Amino acid sequence: MAGMVRCSLWLAAATTVFAQPAEPAFEVASVKAVGAASGGPGSNLMHGGPGTADPGRITFPAATLKRLLMAAYGVGPDQVSGPAWLDSERYAIAAKVPAGADKPQVRVMLRHLLIERFGLKLHHETRNFPSYALVVAKRGAKLDRAPAGLAKNAFPEALPGRYATAMDGTVCRLAFREFPISGLAKVLGIPLGAMAGNMLSTAPVADKTGLAGKYDFTLEFAGYMGPGGAFPARAADGAGPAAPSLFEALETQLGLKLEETKSPLDVIVIDHAGRVPAAN
């Protein structure tokens, strides 16, 4: 009887093990080295995949391994640490995505592909990076909630849940409609960021305002909506800016404030990666 019980337990355990779903994987994948000089506009970006017009296929025309790691692990360029060639050598990837796969699954598939083809070995570290906290200024926020049933022509610059950008000389105007302040924090990371190689490294901005809901508002500042746009160069004639800085504009126009701080972020540290991928 005891033997039968042990056998039944073993069968139950084996059934549990074999019933576990397999890790998602691309049905077919090609990885080829294309040389450091192959980069061009959009070559570092992933094309296709879930949520696009071509959900069953992804391609990277000529991406650096650093950019592939960023896509696979969902980190910024400052969060990948390894040899310098990670940001110079380029690779073309084409892979067939299984039907019904979602974006997180594609990210996992890409991780497995990089491990398999590049012999990738890595570990994670937590490091502190300069960042910003978006807080309410001392005199309070100057924001009005988006009214229910807002007329379509009442705030024409932006669609609901979106923002629009316009330039007037050296002045950048941002118009937000039915927009959360948590979303504003992410948007501010663009002009506060910088270019790392040929990639935008957005500045981490944490929403610490405690403001819930959605708002309609505009923001005008001296600069532009691009990396480093919050820190424009001074005019050659030494003339002052035609608008306040982004930091001043946030406080005077919206009653919000940016405070410099540090934030712990996950860093992917590459212990080993083959410069030439394994054959397809």
pLDDT digits (tens, 9 = 90+) for 12-39: 444 444 444 467 889 999 999 998 777 7
Q: Is residue 95 part of a domain?
A: yes
Tell me how far the alpha carbon of residue 232 is from its chain's centroid.
Answer: 23
Q: Comparing 167 with 239, which gets the higher pLDDT? A: 167
pLDDT of 200 reads: 67
Three-state DSSP class for residue 202: coil
Residues 233 and 185 occupy one common structural domain: yes
Q: Is residue 216 part of a domain?
A: yes
Name the pTM for this structure. Answer: 0.68
Summarised one tens digit per residue, pLDDT across range 227-254 is 899 998 776 655 666 789 999 999 999 9
Q: Is residue 15 part of a domain?
A: no
Pairing verdict, β 121-136 and 256-272: antiparallel
Residues 211 and 247 occupy one common structural domain: yes
If pLDDT is split at 50, 70 and 90, which confidence band does 199 have?
low
Residues 146 and 120 occupy one common structural domain: no
Residues 147 and 240 occupy one common structural domain: yes
- Whole-angstrom CA distances from 53 to 45, 46, 48, 49, 263 are 16, 13, 7, 8, 37
pLDDT of 195 reads: 64
Q: How far apart are CA 245 and CA 250, in angstroms?
A: 9
pLDDT of 60 reads: 94
Q: Is residue 259 part of a domain?
A: no
Give the contacts of 69 (CB within 8 A, at least 6 positions apart): 75, 80, 86, 114, 268, 270
pLDDT of 23 reads: 75
| HEC secondary structure over 174-213 | EEEEEECHHHHHHHHCCCCCEEECCEEECCCEEECCCCCC
Q: Is residue 279 part of a domain?
A: no
Summarised one tens digit per residue, pLDDT across range 83-140 is 999 999 999 999 999 999 999 999 999 999 999 999 999 999 999 999 999 999 999 9
Residues 121 and 148 occupy one common structural domain: no
Minimal CA–CA distance to 196: which of 36, 58, 97, 64? 64
pLDDT of 197 reads: 53
Q: Which residues pair with 127 in a beta bridge?
A: 265
Q: Is residue 83 part of a domain?
A: yes
Residues 105 and 148 occupy one common structural domain: no
Q: How far apart are CA 232 and CA 257, in angstroms?
A: 19
The rounded mean pLDDT for the chain is 86
Residues 169 and 101 occupy one common structural domain: no
Residues 91 and 196 occupy one common structural domain: no
Residues 95 and 188 occupy one common structural domain: no
pLDDT above 70 for 196: no
Residues 147 and 119 occupy one common structural domain: no
pLDDT of 221 reads: 95
Residues 145 and 224 occupy one common structural domain: yes
Q: Is residue 219 part of a domain?
A: yes
pLDDT above 90 for 157: no
Residues 181 and 145 occupy one common structural domain: yes
Domain count within the chain: 2
Q: Is residue 231 part of a domain?
A: yes
Domain of 89, in residue numbers: 22-125+267-272
How is residue 276 written in tokens?
A: 């030439």
